[in-house]
């Protein structure tokens, strides 16, 4: 079984310090969280950025400043900006980080409910626009799939050569209004993609480590971090993203799965 790639989603766009005081907002906080996650085993930093008051932004200058600071502390880590941004942002806003020419970026593959009145909108034309922008810049997309229909959209666009092979998927399970987090649903998603593909599993909230353990056991990769879950265990808030990464490393060690370093992750994902 190939080595395990751990992605740390260190801040997200929606979680706040009111929920967990350790959620990073400032450039220094974001870079410190990235460094801790990296030192404890993360090869990829999935990056949203905030202004100092916590407001989410896709501003290219804020991304540039955060990426530069992370790169100083973690020179070989893979930095994966989000093009999801926050709910309500325009396509133009969301695409800004691509102009920094990262190795990877996220590509959301459909529209879904995000709880309450929130709707995360990604029309077919939006997906095509984002995919073509990544192709033009040589950026590897991570295909964010919150439901089975999003997998089908990615496969359709792959058949049209809009999304290139080999594909890398991130299956997000447990978002209210999207596919629920259980082993049956995960296997359904995994069995839907080409064998040449790689995949990461993201379990939301209390599902994070349960889904991580399954992913490790079946040969997938794992995303953890404050974007998806604020707790180390039931009722115990995590002090850092590093603690969440460290817990995944412990699970992987118990299951006999080695952890990939950044250049090993690059090779697995076809970035080299």
pLDDT single digits (tens) 224-259: 999 999 999 999 999 999 999 999 999 999 999 999
The reply to whether omega before 166 is within 30° of 0 (cis) is yes
Phi–psi pair at 222, nearest 5 degrees = -135, 140
pLDDT digits (tens, 9 = 90+) for 115-155: 888 899 999 999 999 999 999 999 999 999 999 999 999 99
Residue 114 has pLDDT above 90, yes or no: no
- Pairing type for strands 140-145 and 104-108 reads parallel
Which pLDDT score, from 0 to 100, does residue 194 have? Answer: 97
Taking each helix axis from N to C end, the angle separating 60-73 and 27-39, rounded to the nearest 10 degrees, works out to 40
In the CATH hierarchy, which top-level class contains the domain 6-269? alpha beta
CA-based torsion, 147, 151, 154, 160: positive or negative:
negative
- Label residue 52 exposed, middle or buried (CB < 10 Å: 0-12, 13-18, 19+): exposed
Phi–psi pair at 144, nearest 5 degrees = -85, 115
Average pLDDT over the chain, rounded to whole? Answer: 97
239 DSSP assignment: S
Listed by start position, the domains of the chain span 6-269
What is the CA angle 86-41-58, rounded to 5? 20
Can you tell me the distance from the alpha carbon of 56 to that of 53, in angstroms, rounded to the nearest whole number? 9
């Amino acid at each position: 079984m190939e080595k395990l790639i751990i992605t740390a989603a260190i801040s997200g766009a929606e979680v706040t310090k009111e929920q967990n005081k350790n959620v990073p907002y400032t450039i220094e906080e974001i870079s410190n969280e990235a460094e801790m996650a990296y030192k404890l085993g993360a090869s990829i930093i999935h990056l949203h950025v905030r202004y100092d008051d916590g407001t989410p932004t896709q501003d290219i200058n804020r991304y540039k400043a955060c990426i530069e600071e992370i790169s100083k502390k973690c020179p070989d880590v893979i930095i994966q900006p989000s093009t999801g941004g926050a709910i309500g942002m325009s396509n133009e806003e969301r695409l800004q980080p691509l102009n920094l020419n990262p190795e990877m970026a996220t590509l959301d593959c459909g529209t879904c409910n995000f709880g309450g009145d929130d709707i995360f909108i990604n029309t077919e034309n939006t997906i095509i626009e984002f995919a073509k922008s990544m192709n033009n810049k040589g950026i590897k997309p991570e295909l964010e799939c919150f439901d089975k229909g999003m997998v089908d959209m990615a496969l359709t666009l792959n058949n049209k050569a809009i999304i290139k092979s080999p594909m890398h998927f991130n299956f997000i399970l447990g978002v209210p209004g999207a596919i629920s987090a259980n082993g049956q649903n995960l296997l359904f998603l995994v069995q839907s993609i080409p064998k040449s593909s790689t995949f990461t599993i993201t379990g939301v909230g209390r599902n994070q480590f349960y889904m991580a353990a399954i992913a490790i056991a079946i040969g997938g990769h794992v995303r953890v971090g404050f974007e998806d879950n604020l707790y180390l265990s039931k009722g115990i808030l995590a002090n850092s993203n590093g603690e969440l990464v460290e817990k995944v490393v412990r699970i992987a060690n118990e299951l006999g799965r080695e952890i990939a370093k950044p250049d090993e992750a690059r090779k697995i994902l076809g970035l080299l």
